[in-house]
Amino acid sequence: MILKNYQETAIHKLLIRSKELLSQSGEKKIVFKAPTGSGKTIMMAEFLKRLINDYELKQKEFCFIWTAPRKLHNQSKNKLDKYYENTRALECVNFEDLNDRQIGRDEILFLNWESINKKNKNTIVKENENEFYLGKIIENTKEEGREVVLVIDESHHHATSEISQDLISDIGPRLTIEVSATPVISNPDEIVSVPLEDVKLEGMIKKSVILNPNFKNILSGDSLKTKLADGTDAMVLEESINKRAEIAKAYKEAGIEINPLLLIQLPDRKTQAEDQVKNDVVWILKDKYRMTTENGRLAIYLSGEKENLENIAKNNHETEVLLFKQAIALGWDCPRAQVLVLFRDWKSLTFSVQTVGRIMRMPEPDTGHYAQDILNYGFVFTNLADIEIKEDMARNYVTIYTSQRIESYKPIKLESVYRLRQREKTRLSPKFINIFLDEAKKYDLEKKIETKGQKLEQSLISDYKAEDVDKLANKEIKGEAKINTENEADLQKLYDFFVKNNLSPFYPEDRSIGRLKEAIYYFFRMRLGMAYTNRFAEIINIVLSPKNSRHFINVIDSTKEKYIAETQKREAELQKSADWELPEILNYCGNFTELKTELSAMKPFYYDNKWKTEEAFIKFLEKSDQIEWWFKNGDRDATFFAVRYEENGERKPFYVDFIACLKDERIGLFDTKSGRTITDARAKVDGLRSYIKANHKKNLFGGIVTNTNFQNFKARWMVYTGAGADLIPNQWKNWVLVEDIIEKS
C-alpha cells in the first residue's frame, strides 16, 4: 500500500496536534473525522508508529488501548498486525495475552467496547483475587511510567453514553482519539478532518451514491419524497438487479474482472413481517432471476443462516446478491458491493454516509476511478416513503437528482483539456524504478561497483546508533559492535536505514522506502543476474560496502532529480479530449434545486444558486429566439469542457460557464463575470480568444460576459472578445452587445 496525499496530510496533522497536547498537562481529546472508505485504520496505524518514533517524544513511554464496538476490534487488530508485520514497530495484543499484568511499552491492547461495560459485569472489568482485571492492569501500567493513549474506533456507536464516559474516566488516558466518519463527542481539544472531496479525487471512494436513478425525487428541507415509494418490493428488486447487470456489463466491456455485488439490507427482526419480506425476496430471486444459494449467485448473512460467505469480498467472486441484516454493516468491507436495496419495511430512514458506507469504496483504489463513468458510482434503490437527509456530508454525497441530455442533441466535437490528478508529490510512484534503471545505465553503475567479497562499512553502524532509529535483534547497535553480515534481520535494518537517509526530500515513510529498495533489487536482477530472494545478504553487503555505497548514492540522487523534474513536468501538462461532448447524464446532490427552463440541454435543469450573475444570464439565454440549447458547464476533470490558458508561466484549464448552440449551428462559449472578477480574467480572456481563433472551422464565438448593472442585472448584457491586456472594467467601448454577436450571421 502507498499512502495517498490526503492520508499523509492527516497523519502529519494528527502527529503535530498530539505532540502539542501531550506537552500540556491533563487529559486531552482529539476527534479524527474521516469519511468511510478513506482508510481510517491505516492512517491511525501509521500515526501511532510515527508517534512512538518521534524524536521529541523519545523520553516518553507510550502504550495504547484500542476499543471498538461488536467484533470490529478483531478486524482492526488483524489490519494492524499485518501493517506492522515487517517493522514490528508496535505489538498488537488481546487482553489474555498481557504479560506482568500491565500493557507493555509500544503495545496496543484491543478491546471490544461492550465487553468492558461495567453493567455487564464482564470478567475483564470485574475485580478478582488474581488482580487480572482492566482497572488493575491500567494502574500497573501507569506505575511503570507509561502514558496511555485511548483510541475509540467507530465512536458514534458508543462514546456518548453515560456508561462510555464513565469508562473513559476510569481508564484516564493521557490522550483520547475518537475515530469516526460521523463523530459525536463534544468539546474536543483538537479536530483533525479528512475532506470527503480529497478522498474522491484520489479515487478511493465512488464519486457519489445515486438514489433511485430514473425516478423523480423531491427534497424539501430534510425530507425526501421519491416516486419509487409507489412501487412494490418486487419493482425495487427488479430495478436494482437491472442496474447490477448494467454495471457488470460495463466491467466486462472494459476488461475488468470485477463482479459487482447487490446488497439487500433488511432491518433487524421485530415481528414476523420482516421474516416474510426475506422469504418473498428469496422466492422472487429464485423464480424470476434463477439466483439461489445452491447455484452460488445468492449469499445470505443472517443470525441463523449463513450461506456462500467464504471469500465473498474477492472482486471476481461468483455471488451477485447478498441478503443481510443491519448488524453486518459495521466494519464489513466488500469494495465490489455497488448496489444497495432498502425496502419500505424499514418504515423510515435517515440517510447518512454510514447508511451508504458499504457501497462507497472503489474496488481497485490504486486504479482509482474508471473511464466508464457508471463504474464510479454506487446506487441505492428504495420504496421508503419517509426518508430524511440531514447530515451535511450525506447531502453532498448522496445523489438524489438525475439530469439527462436532450434527445435532439447533435454532436459538437469540441477539443477540451483537463488535468490528471497527481499522486507523486509526496511519495515515489512505480515510475521511480524505471528512472533509477536508466540513471544506473548512464552512470555505468554495474562496471563501477565491486561485487566480490564486499562487506558493509563500520561507520554506518555508528551512524545508526546516533540516529537511534530502532533496535536491532532486540539489542541496541553500538559503534564497536561486530555485526553478523550474514544475518538477514540485522542487514535488513541497516539497509532500511541507508535507504531512509537517502530519500530526502521525499518523506521516509515505509512505501517510499520500499520503492527505492525495489529499484535497487531490480538493478541487481536485471543487470547482474542476482535475485534478492536467494542472494539477499550478498546484495546488501555490496550496496553498503565502503567501495560501493557512494556510487549507489550518486545514482539515487540523480534519479530523484530526474523524478522530481518529470513529476513537475507532468503536473504542468494538460491532457486533451479531441472530441468532447456534453455528458449524457449528470447527477446532483441535495444542495441543488430544480430551475424551470425551456432551452437547457439537460432535463431537468438543477442549479446550486451560488452565483446571481449566472442565474441572471440563464434568464437572458432563455429569452433568445436564436438559441437551440444552452449548457451550464461544470469545473472538474474530463466530464466538463475547458480551454487551455497560461498564467504566471503555468498552463491551466479554463472551464467556461456556458456553452450555447444556435439554430444556425454556431457554438457560443461564454463565461460570466461581475465586479472585480472581470479584472482577474485577463489571462483567461486570452486563452479563450486563442482557442476560438484556432478552431475557426467549428463556427465558434464568445468571450467573457457581464451585465452593465452589477446590482440587479437588468441592464445590457455585454461580451468582451478583445485581448486581455486591453480589458478595462466598466469601460464598455471595447465590448459588444451579446444580442449583436448572437444575431451575427
Name the least confident of 316-325, 363-372, 399-408, 441-450. Answer: 363-372
Side chain identity, residue 344: R
Each residue's pLDDT tens digit, 668-690: 999 998 876 777 888 999 999 99
For 573, the grid coordinates are 501538462
d(CA 624, CA 546): 79
C-alpha cell recorded at residue 536? 539477499
Closest to 151 (Cα-Cα) out of 41, 290, 74, 20 = 41
Mean pLDDT (whole number) for 19-47 = 92
What CATH number should be reported for the domain whose range is 414-418+581-743?
3.40.1350
With contact defined as beta carbons under 8 Å apart, do 97 and 103 qualify?
A: no
pLDDT at 520 over 70: yes
Could you give the CA distance from residue 284 to residue 300 in angstroms, rounded to a whole number?
15
Gap between the Cα atoms of 462 and 600, Å rounded: 72
**Exposure string over 453-477, b if 16+ CB within 10 A, otherwise e:** ebebbeebbebbbeeebeebeeeeb
Topology (CATH) of 203-405: Rossmann fold (3.40.50)
Going by pLDDT thresholds of 50, 70 and 90, the confidence category of residue 354 is confident
249 Cβ contact list (under 8 Å, min separation 6): none
Whether the link from the prior residue into 173 is cis, omega within 30° of 0, is no
Q: Residue 478's pLDDT is what?
A: 43
* Nine-digit cell string for 678: 472581470
Three cell numbers at 175? 490522550
Residue that wins the pLDDT comparison between 729 and 449: 449
Neighbours of 491 (CB within 10 A): 23
Residue 331 predicted with pLDDT over 60:
no
Residue 118 pLDDT class (50, 70, 90 cuts): low
SS3 for 705? Answer: strand
Using alpha carbons, select from 603, 628, 632, 590 the residue that is nearest to residue 615: 632
pLDDT at 466: 41
**Which listed CATH number (2.160.10.10, 2.60.120.10, 3.40.50.300, 3.20.20.70) goes with 5-195?**
3.40.50.300
Question: Three-class SS of residue 632?
Answer: strand
Q: Which three cell numbers stand for residue 456?
A: 558493509
Band the pLDDT of 725: cuts 50, 70, 90.
confident
At 229, the pLDDT band (50, 70, 90 cuts) reads: confident
DSSP letter assigned to residue 36? T
Distance CA 439, CA 562 (A): 9
**Highest mean pLDDT of the ranges 261-270, 474-483, 634-643:** 634-643
Evaluate if pTM is beyond 0.75.
no
Q: State whether the Cα torsion 483-484-485-490 is positive or negative.
A: negative
Half-sphere exposure (CA, 13 Å, Cβ side) for 668?
32
Which amino acid is residue 693, in one-letter code?
Answer: K
Q: What is the mean pLDDT of the chain?
A: 84
Contacts 24+ apart (CB under 8 A), 329-334: 329/265, 329/354, 329/357, 329/358, 330/69, 330/70, 330/72, 330/154, 330/157, 331/68, 331/70, 331/71, 331/72, 331/75, 331/154, 332/358, 333/75, 333/361, 334/261, 334/358
Q: Greater confidence, 483 or 26?
A: 26
Q: Span 148-171, mean pLDDT? A: 73
> Grid coordinates standing for 201?
479525487
Q: Strand pairing partners for 577?
A: 416
CA 368 → CA 249, 417, 421, distances in Å? 19, 20, 10
